[in-house]
Amino acid sequence: MNVRQVRLLAKSSHPTREYNDRMNTRSVSDLATLREQMRRCRLCADAGYPITPEAIFSGVVTARIMVVGQAPGGREVDLGLPFSGPAGHRLFSWLEQAGFEEKRFREEQYITAITKCFPGKGKSRGDRVPTAAERKLCLPFLAREIELVRPELIVSIGGVAIRHFLGKVRFDDAIGQVYHVDGRSIVPLPHPSGANIWLNRPTSKDLLQKALLSLKTATGGFSH
């Protein structure tokens, strides 16, 4: 899949305030229904995958930015909050450099993942990467979140999320860029996990700074 083939529902504009209010009310209620469906979902466990339910995500239907990670970690399960472990601390230190304060960002934006349940520990460092089959089971939830929230910008975190939105792109080429796909911007960031050895390379520091500057510029018109 390449960028041209990616088909996300574009944010649409509607003519009257009354119509927008009505749509917003419906989206709030639809998102509440979706949240409940995600929390109750046991598809991966039923299929034999060693995940820990329940689904972890947060945010509001009015979010202009959606952060999409790979999958929550163990700490996130404990707290019921995405990006609340060490990787999350690092992510929010990055977002701060792009002009976003954590508390407000969590209140005003939306944070989710390609697969929404903790996949367990991997064989080496870090958490297990969800299989293609697990991603296939979970991705309809992400599509529905995007449909309801209609974010103007998606921050895709790590290789799995980046490939989902952008197809096969070279990681070093993608970090620092802002992509425009079907009416919304996509800003790729590396995964902030301590297990991500990409972060330790000297050249990665410059790419990360470029990416944070791109995010800051792309969201310049948003209230931070």
**Which positions from 13 to 52 touch ligand SF4 by CB under 6 A, shown as an x/- string?**
-------------------------x--xxxxx-----x-
Judged by CB under 6 A, the stretch of 22-30, 81-89, 113-121, 208-216 that binds ligand SF4 is 113-121
114 touching ligand SF4, by CB under 6 A: no
Phi and psi dihedrals of 99, rounded to 5?
105, 10
* Other CB atoms within 10 A of residue 220 CB: 9
- In this complex, which beta carbon is closest to ligand SF4, that of residue 78 or of residue 107? 78
- In this complex, which beta carbon is closest to ligand SF4, that of residue 111 or of residue 138? 138
- In this complex, which beta carbon is closest to ligand SF4, that of residue 53 or of residue 80? 53
* Alpha carbon 210 to chain centroid, angstroms: 19
Q: How far is the CB of 35 from ligand SF4 (least distance, A)?
A: 11
Q: For the CA atoms of 112, 118, 120, 125, what is the dihedral angle to 10 degrees?
A: 30
**Which positions from 49 to 68 touch ligand SF4 by CB under 6 A, shown as an x/- string?**
--x-x-x-------------
- In this complex, which beta carbon is closest to ligand SF4, that of residue 130 or of residue 176? 130
Please compute, for residue 202, the number of CA atoms within 13 A of its CA located in the half-sphere on the CB side. 0
* Other CB atoms within 10 A of residue 147 CB: 14
Residue 217 to residue 222: CA distance in whole angstroms: 10
Q: How far is the CB of 67 from ligand SF4 (least distance, A)?
A: 17
* Alpha carbon 50 to chain centroid, angstroms: 22
Which residues 6+ apart lie within 8 Å of 12 measured at CB? 150
Residue 190 to residue 40: CA distance in whole angstroms: 30
- In this complex, which beta carbon is closest to ligand SF4, that of residue 44 or of residue 215? 44
Residue 155 corresponds to which tokens in the numbers above? 């921050």
Q: Can you tell me which of 65, 138, 175, 189 binds ligand SF4, judged by CB under 6 A?
A: 138
Q: Segment 167-186, which members bind ligand SF4 (CB under 6 A)?
A: none
Task: Answer for the pair 179, 8: CB distance below 8 angstroms, yes or no.
Answer: no
Q: Strand pairing of 153-157 and 179-181?
A: unpaired
Q: How far is the CB of 164 from ligand SF4 (least distance, A)?
A: 14
Q: Can you tell me which of 65, 98, 137, 148 binds ligand SF4, judged by CB under 6 A?
A: 137
List residues near ligand SF4 by CB under 6 A: 38, 41-45, 51, 53, 55, 115-117, 134, 137-138, 141
